[in-house]
Chain A
Amino acid sequence: MGWLTKPADKTAAVSTEAIWAVCPACKAYVPRDEWNNDLRVCPRCDYHDRLTCRQRVTQICDSGSFVEINADVSVRDPLKFADASGAYADKARATVKKTGEGEAILTGNARIAGIPVVIGIMDFRFLGGSLASGTGERILLAAEAALKQRQPLILFSASGGARMHEGIVSLMQMAKTCAAIARLQQARLPYISVLTDPTTGGVSASYAMVGDVNIAEPRALIGFAGRRVIELTIKQKLPDDFQTAEYLLEHGFIDHIVHRGEMKRFLEKVLRYAAHGVAECI
């Protein structure tokens, strides 16, 4: 009867999570090796899972072409902010350690189908992809690099909005980043904005929404005010597709919804028009 009381051999057991992944959208159990493809798109319902900035680099930039810039620009704490859960400085330090990134956006020089670009990619894992002084500075410097190098700028947004922990300084990053975008406009340099899940609050109300071409991933949440705030304000139920990429396309704020598997090809296509006369290899 020893086999009844003896604990199961731990090394032989394979946990459910190792084999199956649950899609956050359709809740279907999907074999993990199918889910963990390069795209991280649910094979059942086409849900586009959130990506890290480095995963996005792999998908979008020509292999080996990405070189990070301004990595030394990191989190600052202008208000010396602390809330109920502790000091912002500690929270930020832990986030840098956990993610391996210095801020909520990764910026660098890269090539897309041979076309040289300056690219910025937000990472939602980094304090909800929030916009704060370090984030804004990296974006401004990326835009200035694009201006200096006479190259297109591409920004991938994934953000809950301005970072409360830097208060008014975060709010000012909306003006700061838009000032940088305005310079590209004046210099007739292309700026392509890609809105991914989620792009809300102060990021949707600044650089993310003013691309020459605005592209979104399917079903991405995009909007200004939070759903709950709106429901409380107007005291009525909101439509199910409210603030989705599809809703924004219908209302005229997005040029195109592009599946992740097609994103690089689509960007290349747009760049062939937009960077005409700018980049040397078109």
Chain B
Amino acid sequence: MTDLDFSKKLTPWEIVQVARHPNRPAIGEYIQGMCEDFVELHGDRAFGDDPALIGGFATIGGERVMLIGHRKGKSVEENIHANFGMANPEGYRKALRLMKLAEKYGLPVVSLVDTPGAYPGLDAEARGQAEAIARNLTEMAGLRTPFVVVITGEGGSGGALGIAVGDVVMMLQYAVYSVISPEGCASILWRDNKKAPEAAEALKITADSLKELGIIDEIISEPQGAAHSDPGKAVDNVKKAVLKHIKALQKLDTDTLVQKRYDKYAAMGR
């Protein structure tokens, strides 16, 4: 990592390493740096409380919002507790509960995405990982309140998308967003997981490529040397971008907002 030269254009595989950097700001730092106030809300009201996906009432630059996001740990203990940001179905169901609450109270949703993927476990399957994500996708599409998404680190497939259907989707400069990990893709399509750099290239998972493809709306720049070298600055850039879009989206009437969101996703891949 130390030998990355940020004055040059990084390769997609290098960007994957930056996106996964252990010192990259995680949700705790965003809450600390972005919010004047945060009231965490726990539990999905059906099974439990998932520490891998957290949320609650937050005030960002005077704006009251519902903040949700994956939680990666900053220490081994926190990572084990938060399952490395890999949520279980109860995490997605808690997120949905909070989105519906935001809709009820007229609060915009701010979603911070940073996960390797939804947790692939026996219990997760038994409790309906697929159903939980599918339900969220369906509900987010029609949610009658502004919804702003920032991919801050790893946007790992369905586990990321499960909280990421928004009116505005932004990515930090060195974040990645992909249908499958480069390693996973390489082991299937190249039959060799050492070909991950090639897969990372072919999958077009960097912010630049995704902007070009029309998948994301805006790239949030990172400080020199990437977010981990100056977390405070990175968090501040995210805060500014989020606030700008919340204010703009709140000017739209709700029918227009929801129609525009539908049109945005209907056009994906056309």
Contacts and interface: CB of A to CB of B under 8 A. Distances in A.
B10 interface: no
A108 B37 CA distance: 52
Given A178-B134, A178-B138, A171 B125 contact: no
A188 interface: no
B227 interface: no
B141 A182 contact: yes
A210 B134 contact: yes
Interface in B178-225: 178-180, 185, 188-192, 195, 199, 202-205, 210, 213, 215
B142 A180 contact: no
Interface in B89-128: 118-122, 124-128
A136 B134 contact: no
Nearest to A184: B138
22 contacts: A78-B213, A83-B189, A83-B199, A133-B269, A133-B270, A137-B269, A162-B157, A162-B179, A169-B215, A169-B268, A173-B269, A174-B137, A182-B139, A182-B142, A202-B157, A202-B179, A205-B118, A209-B131, A210-B134, A224-B118, A226-B120, A229-B120
B129 interface: yes
Closest 3 CB pairs of A and B: A133-B269, A225-B120, A179-B141
Interface of A is mostly: helix
Contacts of A79: 202-204, 213
A16 to B, nearest CB: 32
Contact of A140 (B124, B130, B133, B266): B266
B268 A175 contact: yes
Contacts of A173: 268-269
Interface in B32-76: none
Contact of A76 (B138, B191, B269): B269
B15 to A, nearest CB: 14
A229 B180 CA distance: 13
B137 A168 contact: no
Interface in B130-159: 130-131, 133-135, 137-142, 157-158
A223 interface: yes
B125 A225 contact: yes
Residue in A134, A166, A209, A224 with the greatest tally of chain B CB atoms within 10 Å: A224
A209 B130 contact: yes
Interface residues on B, range: 35 or more
A176 to B, nearest CB: 5
Contact of A137 (B119, B134, B137, B270): B270
Contacts of B210: 168
Nearest to B129: A224
A174 B158 CA distance: 8
A183 B269 contact: no
Interface stretch (A18-26, A34-42, A232-240, A273-281): A232-240
A2 to B, nearest CB: 52
Nearest to A200: B130
Contacts of A253: 128, 130-131
A208 B265 CA distance: 18
A230 B118 CA distance: 11
Contacts of A252: 128
Interface string A110-144: 00000000000000000000001110110010000
Contacts of B122: 230, 234, 236, 238, 242
B120 to A, nearest CB: 3
A3 to B, nearest CB: 50
B120 A224 contact: yes
Interface in A176-216: 176, 178-183, 185-186, 201-202, 204-210
Given A202-B179, A209-B134, A224-B120, A83 B266 contact: no
A234 B215 CA distance: 33
